[in-house]
Amino acid sequence: MDKSLRIDLQKVPKHIAIIMDGNGRWAKGKGMSRVFGHRHALTAVRESVETAAQIGVQAITLYAFSTENWKRPKLEVDALMQLLVNSLKKELPTFQKNEVLVNAIGNIDNLPSKAQKALKEVIALTKANSKIILTLALSYGSREEIVKAIQNISKKVVKKELCIKEINEKTINNHLYTFNLPDVDLMIRTSGEHRISNFLLWQMAYAELYFTDVLWPDFRKEHFYDAIIDYQNRERRFGKTSEQITE
């Protein structure tokens, strides 16, 4: 049976976050370098974004490069940055075809100038698209994001632009990189690892977590459907009891 037929289009998660893990292990299993794995991960990205757009997901956020990833060997980091530039240019027709609005979060200023330029160009060229928001988390760390939000809120308090008593969840949310996105409903992590690795800590407060042993370069549409089906079979209570949800 076609897995897409098992999807309830009325219960599709609004925002899906993905930790794309396993590129290095996939490459190592083939006797190749880690960079080889990164280069063969683009199909997984394309199929995930296209499938999400087709079933009505509003936003999808990909953990493309963390603040910690800068500690990796320079050769790998340089290759990843060049891959980012090439991929953005190559995928632009796909973004336009699927009406994908491209967004980016993180310390974008830390990226090489070529990567920044390519990113800004694609963001500008897709800003009119409205079917789905694709957010690339680049040089991103959730703790750093929260610290920056607190610093910016504190500055407003010092300038008397904001009263301490006025600070609430909405205030904090509005100072995060993701202020224009809904909270994460579903987080997918590939490769069998069971952790969230400093990714969208605030935004995933009530997210359903889905872990799969599939390595990211092998992740395809049917695996994406598996995650959605699993999500739709769960009971989301948000602190309430099952009886309250039923009522």
Look at residue 4 in the predicted model and tell me its pLDDT. 82
Mean pLDDT of 229-246: 73
Handedness of CA 171, 175, 180, 186 (dihedral sign): negative
User: Is the model more confident about 237 or about 112?
Assistant: 112
Query: Mean pLDDT in the chain?
Result: 94
CA distance 218 to 233: 24
The matching CATH number, chosen from 3.40.50.150, 3.40.50.800, 3.40.1180.10, 1.10.10.10, for 11-141+182-234 is 3.40.1180.10
Q: Mind spelling out the 3-state secondary structure of 192-218?
A: CCCCCCCCCCCCCCCCEEEECCCCHHH
Which tokens sit at 186?
């579903």
State the Cα–Cα distance between residues 221 and 8, nearest whole angstrom.
Answer: 16
Radius of gyration for the chain, computed over Cα atoms and rounded to the nearest angstrom: 19
User: Residue 113's CB: how many other CB atoms inside 10 A?
Assistant: 7
Is the Cβ–Cβ distance between 217 and 23 less than 8 Å? yes
Is the model's pLDDT at 11 over the cut of 90? yes
Give the Å distances, CA to CA, from 71 to 66, 76, 78, 152, 221.
10, 10, 12, 27, 32
CB 175 within 8 Å of CB 202: no
- What is the pLDDT confidence band of residue 242, given thresholds at 50, 70 and 90? low
Per the structure block, which two tokens stand in for 35? Answer: 């960079």
User: Is 164 annotated as contributing to ligand binding?
Assistant: no
User: What percent of the chain stands above pLDDT 90?
Assistant: 92
Tell me which residues are annotated as active site. 21, 69
The whole-angstrom separation of Cα 244 and Cα 218 is 40
Q: Using one digit for the tens of pLDDT, what is the confidence trace for 179-201?
A: 999 999 999 999 999 999 999 99
**15 has binding-site annotation:** no
The answer on whether 216 is annotated among ligand-binding residues is no
User: Would the pLDDT of 5 be above 90?
Assistant: no
171 is an annotated ligand-binding site residue: no
- What is the model's pTM? 0.93
The response to whether 26 counts as a known ligand-binding position is: yes
Sequence-separated (6 or more) residues with CB below 8 Å from residue 158: none
Q: At 108, is the pLDDT very low, low, confident or very high (cuts 50, 70, 90)?
A: very high
3-state helix, strand, coil in the chain (%, to 5): 50, 15, 35
Statement: residue 238 has pLDDT above 70: no
- Residue 72 labelled as part of a binding site: yes
More confident residue, 243 or 219: 219
Domain boundaries, the chain: 11-141+182-234
Q: Check the annotation: does 31 bind a ligand.
A: no
| Distance in angstroms (rounded) separating the CA atoms of residues 186 and 6 | 17
